[in-house]
Structure formats: structure tokens, C-alpha cells
Chain A
Amino acid sequence: MSTHEIRFSGFGGQGIIRCALITGKALSLYDDKFATMTQSFGPEARGSACAAQLVVSDERVLYPYLTHPGILLALSQEAYDKYWSELPKGGILIVEQDLVKLSGEHLELKLYRVPATRFAEEVGNRLFTNLVALGFLTAVTKVVSAEAMKKALPGLVPDRFLKVNIKAFEKGYEYGLEAMNAGGAAS
């Protein structure tokens, strides 16, 4: 049985929860896996810390929380500072390269950096940062398929922005593939 534990983190307004929802839906409905999503839920506003957790398994997920998170997506400095140390040796750390200043080299981790906000602006609006990051995550983690992710988008992003969200996803995905081809962990 293969299990993956993923933490999505950043600040409110970046679409962090949406990232987990899209990934969970893709895995559950289109990749034939089981996924359980829990989220920080409180009177938070835009700009404050925000995280969502996803447990992925071939079988029904019993314990719904993270015990050994192997993948961390950190789209803010605060999120990176707070969560990177819980990754085990060989864990996958993905950071927003323009928003996160690394505190070390993280040689023990598989470190990936993606200029998600900048790419999103190129696509049209920084609102699509989360989709760029998701595309990138899909390419480098291979936990979920790109096809499933794209299928999961309708209903979770507004119809009128579906195309541009897919474009943002693909931009991140291609950049992720390049990062992989360039020899894994890019810095």
C-alpha cells in the first residue's frame, strides 16, 4: 500500500485550500485513489497563515491527519519556516522561489523552487499562482497525474477562468518537467 502525505501551505488568498481540494478530487475521482483533506479552519483573513493537509492512499484513509508528511508546498516565508523541518530525509520541498528565502541548502531534501507568482502574472494574473504551483508539484512528485488534475478543475475554478487556469497549470507542469530533466532538485 502506498501512502503519501502532502502539506500545502502559504497565506490566505493564495488558493492554498483550493490546491488541496483540486489534488484530492483528482486523486479520488480520476486516479482511483483515496484521499482525505483537512484544512486549517478559523477566523483567518487574507494574508494570514493557511495550510491544508492531504493524505493519499490506495486504500481507505483511516487516520485523517499527517503523521510523516513527505511533500511540502510552501508558498510563503512563514509557511516554509514553520513546516520545512518536519520533512524526513529525501522529502520533497517545493517553495515559491521569489517569496521564500531559504535558511539553508537542504541537501538532505529534494528541493525544488518555482517562480509561481511570476509565471502566474505572465499567464494573466497572480491569482493563478496556485495553479502554477500545482502544475509544478504534479510534475515533480508524480503523486497525481496531470490528466486527472485538469479533469478535476471544472467546478473548483470559475468556468470563465477554466482555460487560463489550465494554462497556468501547464506552465507550472512544463517547468516542473524541465526541473526534473535538469537533474532533479534545482536550486
Chain B
Amino acid sequence: MDGDHAIAEGALAAGCRFFAGYPITPSTETAERFAERAPEVGALFIQMEDELASIAALIGAAWGGKKAMTVTCGPGFSLMVENIGLAAMTETPLVIANVQRGGPSTGLPTLTAQQDMMQARYGSHGDYNIIALTPDSPQECFDLTVEAFNLSEFYRVPVIILTDETVGHMHEKVVIPPAEQIQVVPRNNYSGPKADFRPYQFDSQGGHPMTQAGDGYNFHITGLTHNERGYPVMTAEQSKIVITHLMEKINGNADQIIRLDEDQVDGADVVVVSYGITSRIAVKAIQDARKEGIKVGYLRLITIWPFCEKRIRELAPKIKAFVVPEINYGQMVHEVERGAGGQCATISVNHCGGAVHDPEVILDAIRKANQ
């Protein structure tokens, strides 16, 4: 199964029953798979008129009681960013997969890239937070899509699966466990007295219930700065409450959210920080470097946002350098450098997209970092 199909299967396994999207290479296979499988599980698939409408439909579906997702790549994501901000502001759970291709603009429709890392985090205006995950294989496309829904439901936040054309179109064995073995966070709908329902709770650390349109609970959602009932309160004081909550429900729980994959990081002189397909290219360079006697560690970011700042800060004083290969002109490398805080060197191994790195280029950077 390829990565794109695995995302659709992961979504179905996680209980996603609404998909609205607009086909775009290299993500179309996910939509095709979902559309084909939707009738078997009573899910709804809608091919929308564009990406703006797709993400808007997701917000509606989520408040209509469904777990909802869409899939796109850079050009479509650009059209979605306005309503991603609305989803973040209204604390609406939804999942977006971005199967990245080369940009900017329509760029390289059929070729791989990792150029949308910052867009995923900062695409919409204003201060808000999201979670983003970066699978390195079709298996992880399945596993992390399930996790994306779980995180999205618990923290009531848009979760973005940031994969790429290579993983999306790579075929490998995908093990899908029996349904009862897959941990799924169900939609938490409020069931208490009607007068007490609050769609928002600004000191919530997750798990605050929603309601489903039509269930009889009064609620209001708006992109305006709002109170716990959801009604507009446009003051500096309320803005502080709302924004602090949007930021801290993720930042404050970063340790619970962040997942990393590490190998021989402790005692290393050089640590290669990578994610997605690039980590599988980096592995080759790391193996070759170790043959040359260089002590090099492997740190793979499974959760890309929130960024694993704490771990980078711990490692920085103990190593000579971080090496950060990524298929963009240098995006996450700035986060690594910020986390390192000048306590070690940070070396960017950038790539302008359309292909993966030559492992030799990463190996050279590791050699330089070790000097």
C-alpha cells in the first residue's frame, strides 16, 4: 500500500466519517481511496469546488458531530489557510494531510519537497497553535493519521499530517491492526444540563467537550475573540485569555504531544536532525559516517510542531554540531538553531526540491560538522 492510501485507511480507522476535498497531485490517491471506501462505513465524501470550500465544510462537519479530514498539497493548503485560522480560533478538531510537492506556486506538481513546514505552523494570521506530524513511511502514514485524529479530538485543534510526494507514492507493507487494538479518542460531546454548556473553557488542558448541532444545546462559534459561551468579547483582556489558551494548550502539553525517534544520540559528537523522507536518506549517510568512526546520532522528528525545543537544548552543549538536512532552502534548521542557542554549531543541508538528497551530501556535512 502507498502512503496516500494509508492516510485514507488511517482516517477511517480513527473514525473519520467526513471528507471534503479538491483533488491535487500528489495527494489525490488519498481522496480516491476514501471515496471508494466511504460507502462501506457510512462515511460521506464530497468533492468540493475548491480548497476554500473544503476546509469550510470540515469545520461545519466537525460541529455537526463528525470527525472530518481533507487532503491537499502546497497550492491547496495556501487556499485553506484562512479557515485553518478559523478552525484554530473556534477550537474545531479536524485533520489536514499535506502531501508536499515542490513550490512555490504550482512549482513541481509531481515531484517531492518539504517546503511547507513553516506554512503549516504559521500559514494563517494571528497567534495560534497547531500540531503537525511527519511520517517517514506508509506504515507511519497510517499510524500517525490515527494519532492526528486523537490529538485533534483531545486538544480540539487542527492537526496537519506533513508528508511528501515520495512517502505518499512509496509502496511498502502496512500492518493495520484489528479495530479493537487501535486506540481511538472518540468525540467528546457534552451531556449535562443545557444551561451549563460552555463550548469553550480557557484553562482547559484538553478534553473539553463539544456539542453537535441539532442536539439542543445553545452554542455560538465565531472567528471573533469570544467568551466561554462563544459570543464576541472584543477586548484586550479577553484576547489575552483566548490567545494564551490557544498557545498554551499545545505548548504547555508539548512533552505529552511530542514524539521523537532517536538512535545513538547520547554520546554523539554530531546529531543529524531530520524528518519525513529525508530521515530515511539521512540513515544511509549516518551509517557511512559511523563506518568512518564518526560518533553520529540520529534524531527524527515524528512530531514536527510543536517543535522539540527542550530536547535540542539538552543536547546542544554535549555535541559539536547539529546537521539538518531537509528538502527546502532551510526551514526547521532555524528552529534547531534557536533551540541550540549558540551552544553548538547548526549546519543546514538544504535542497530545492524535486528529489531527495544525495546521501553523500549529508555525509560531507557530517564530516565537516565533526571537524
A residues within 8 Å of B by Cβ? 20-21, 24, 28-29, 34-39, 41-43, 61-65, 67
Contacts and interface: CB of A to CB of B under 8 A. Distances in A.
A88 to B, nearest CB: 18
Closest 8 A-B residue pairs measured CB to CB? Answer: A28-B173, A37-B171, A63-B284, A62-B283, A42-B110, A36-B172, A41-B110, A41-B169
A62 B280 contact: yes
Given A43-B110, A63-B359, A21 B284 contact: no
Contacts, number: 47
B280 A64 contact: yes
Given A36-B170, A38-B171, A63-B359, 8 more contacts: A21-B171, A37-B171, A38-B170, A39-B169, A41-B169, A42-B111, A64-B166, A64-B280
B290 to A, nearest CB: 13
Interface string B8-27: 00000000000000000010
Contact of B283 (A21, A24, A63): A63
Interface string B153-178: 00000000000011001111100000
A20 B26 CA distance: 20
Interface in B177-230: none
Nearest to B359: A63
Nearest to B139: A60
9 contacts: A21-B171, A29-B173, A37-B170, A38-B166, A38-B171, A41-B110, A62-B284, A63-B283, A65-B281
B110 A28 contact: no
Contacts of A21: 171
A41 B172 CA distance: 16
B51 to A, nearest CB: 21
Q: Which of A24, A29, A41, A64 has the most CB of B within 10 A?
A: A64
Contacts of A38: 166, 169-171
B319 interface: no
B356 interface: yes
Contacts of A42: 110-111
A138 B353 CA distance: 36
A43 B25 CA distance: 11
Taking each of A29, A41, A42, A65, which has the highest tally of chain B beta carbons within 10 Å of its own beta carbon?
A41
Interface residues of B, number: 18
Contacts of A36: 170-172
A62 B277 CA distance: 10
Contacts of B359: 63
A35 B173 CA distance: 7
Given A62-B280, A63-B281, A35 B110 contact: no
Interface in B274-289: 277, 280-281, 283-284
A34 B173 CA distance: 7
A22 B283 CA distance: 27
Interface string B86-105: 00000000000000000000
A65 B356 contact: yes
Nearest to B108: A42
Nearest to B170: A38
A37 B284 contact: no
A35 B172 contact: yes
A42 B172 CA distance: 20
Contacts of A37: 170-172
A26 B165 CA distance: 24
Contacts of A63: 280-281, 283-284, 359
Contacts of B26: 41
Given A41-B26, A62-B283, A63-B283, A24 B171 contact: yes
Interface in B102-150: 109-111
Nearest to B281: A63
A42 B280 CA distance: 22
A185 B82 CA distance: 63
Contacts of B171: 20-21, 24, 36-38
Contacts of B109: 43
Contacts of A67: 284
Nearest to A17: B171
Contacts of B277: 64
A41 B169 CA distance: 8
B281 to A, nearest CB: 7
A164 to B, nearest CB: 24
A17 to B, nearest CB: 9
A89 B165 CA distance: 34
Most buried by B among A35, A38, A67: A38
A133 B359 CA distance: 32
A119 B267 CA distance: 60
Interface string B244-286: 0000000000000000000000000000000001001101100
A111 B10 CA distance: 44
Nearest to A61: B172
Contacts of A65: 281, 356
A7 to B, nearest CB: 15
Nearest to B283: A62
A32 to B, nearest CB: 10
